[in-house]
Amino acid sequence: MGYSHKLVFDERLYDAQVLQKAAYRSMNFLTVDIAADKGMFICALSSNIGVDELSFLSAVQEFKKDVLDYQLRHQLSTETQPIKNLILGLAFSKTGLISE
């Protein structure tokens, strides 16, 4: 018997990539079909074969937390990309004395 659940995310608040990453992370328990409709992402979550209801519900909860986490990661990563390149440049430079 398969279980399912539907979640809706506002396109203005969440990136598609974020939902995909969260989906990837949950794939041991469920699969996620993502569709876009009128500025919203519709996520249809379905349990994998052999997953019981409790495990599925836990996995749905984890999926929601993961979406929040990945959204934060996205913001963090975008903001720190330039300084990350600077630091790596310093790390690999011959003189190591490049200043900002």
Partner 1 sequence: MSKFQKLEFYAQQRPYELLPFKFDRLNDDEYVITNMAGEFHVIPSPMLEPIIRKTLPLSSELIPTLRSKQFIRFTNEQAPLQLLALKIRTRLSRLAQFTNLHIFVVTLRCDHSCPYCQVSRQSESKGEFDMTTEMADKSLDFVFRSPNPAIKIEFQGGEPLLNFEMVRYVVLEAKKRNIKEGRDLRFVIATTLSLLTDDMLEFCKRHSIVLSSSLDGPMDLHNANRPRPGRDSHQRFEEGLKKARAALGYDQVSALMTTTDKSLPRARDIIDEYLRLGFDGIFLRTLSPYGFAIKTKKFMSYDTERWLEFYKEGLEYIIELNKSGIRFVEQYSSIVLTKMLTSGDPGFVDLMNPAGAGIAAIVFNYDGSVYASDESRMLAEMGDHTFRLGNILMHSYEDIILSDQLLDALENSFTLSAPMCSDCAFEPYCGAEPVYHHAIHKDVVARKPESSFCKRNMAIFKHLIELMESDEQTKRIFMGWANRC
Which lies closer to partner 1 via its Cβ, residue 37 or residue 75?
75
Distance CA(71)–CA(94), nearest Å, equals: 36
Binding status of residue 99 toward partner 1 by CB under 8 A: yes
Between 9 and 48, how does the x/- string for binding to partner 1 read (CB under 8 A)? ------------x--xxxxx--------------------
Structural contact between residues 43 and 34, judged by C-beta atoms closer than 8 angstroms: yes
In the three-class reduction of DSSP (H, G, I as helix; E, B as strand; rest coil), residue 12 is classed as coil
> Can you read off the two tokens belonging to residue 31?
């699969």
Question: Which H helix or E strand runs over 88?
Answer: helix 53-92
Which lies closer to partner 1 via its Cβ, residue 38 or residue 98?
98
As measured in angstroms, the least distance from the Cβ of 40 to partner 1 is: 23
Among 45, 77, 94, 95, binds partner 1 (CB under 8 A): 77
